[in-house]
Each structure stands twice: as C-alpha cells, then as structure tokens.
Amino acid sequence: MKTSVVCALAAVLLLSGATFAQESSPKPDHAVTASAKPLIVAGQVSNDRKTLMTDIDSEWRVSNPDALKGHEGLRVTVKCYVDTGKNTIQVLSVKKEESGSSYAARSTDSAFRR
C-alpha cells in the first residue's frame, strides 16, 4: 500500500515538473518593429528633409534629417533602418539617383520584327 502511494505521488510530481518545463516564456506585449537589417528605399526628399516620399506613395518621417542635407527636393536612394511602428526611418547613407534615362531603341530589336 505504501509503495503504490509513493509511486502515485512520484508520478504526479514528475508530470507536473514536465508540464512546467514545456511552458514557454510569456511574450512581451509590444512587438519589435524596427528592422534588424538596413533596407534600401528609393524616394524623393521633402524640402525640409523631415520626410521621404517613396515610389509606392508611402511617406516616412526621417529621424535624422541632417543626413539628407543637400538633397532637398531630389530623388535619392537611402540605406536605412525602418521602424514601422513609428513610421520612421533612420538614414545610414544617401545616393542621388541619376535623372536621365539611358534606354534607346534599335530597329534590329525583337520588338520591331515581324
């Protein structure tokens, strides 16, 4: 009788220990929204350098507008960290986009063949 009670008590303790071990830690209420890797975004800088209008008509606030100094009103490609929760970007580097297109059609292209 004593061995069956001890075995039952040991089984209950082992099962409860296994249950606690399988529980995952609670997740935080706020999700991390900042990107871990820098992204490349193309768009036009506002005149006050505080926003960047992208090609897909989304507007991002710039957390460090001094990085865009000299590029006011121009189309640029920026390497940046994106924080979607705050709708902001932190600019790491800026490259001015070339304004002219270098495409030319030739009469020997497949588009002109019959």
- Per cent of the chain over pLDDT 90 is 44
Token representation of residue 7? 């075995």
Token pair in block for residue 87: 């709708």
Is domain 39-96 given the CATH code 2.40.33.10 in the classification?
A: no
Rg of the Cα atoms in the chain:
29
| Residue environment code for 5-41, b if the CB has 16+ CB neighbours within 10 A, otherwise e | eeeeeeeeeeeeeeeeeeeeeeeeeeeeeeeeebeeb
Average of pLDDT values for 38-60? 91
Q: Which is nearest to 13 in space by CA: 1, 25, 24, 5?
A: 5
Region 60-86: mean pLDDT is: 93
Q: Which residue has the higher pLDDT, 9 or 83?
A: 83
Per-residue pLDDT band at 57 (split at 50, 70, 90): confident
How much is the average pLDDT of 36-55? 91
For residue 47, is pLDDT > 90? yes
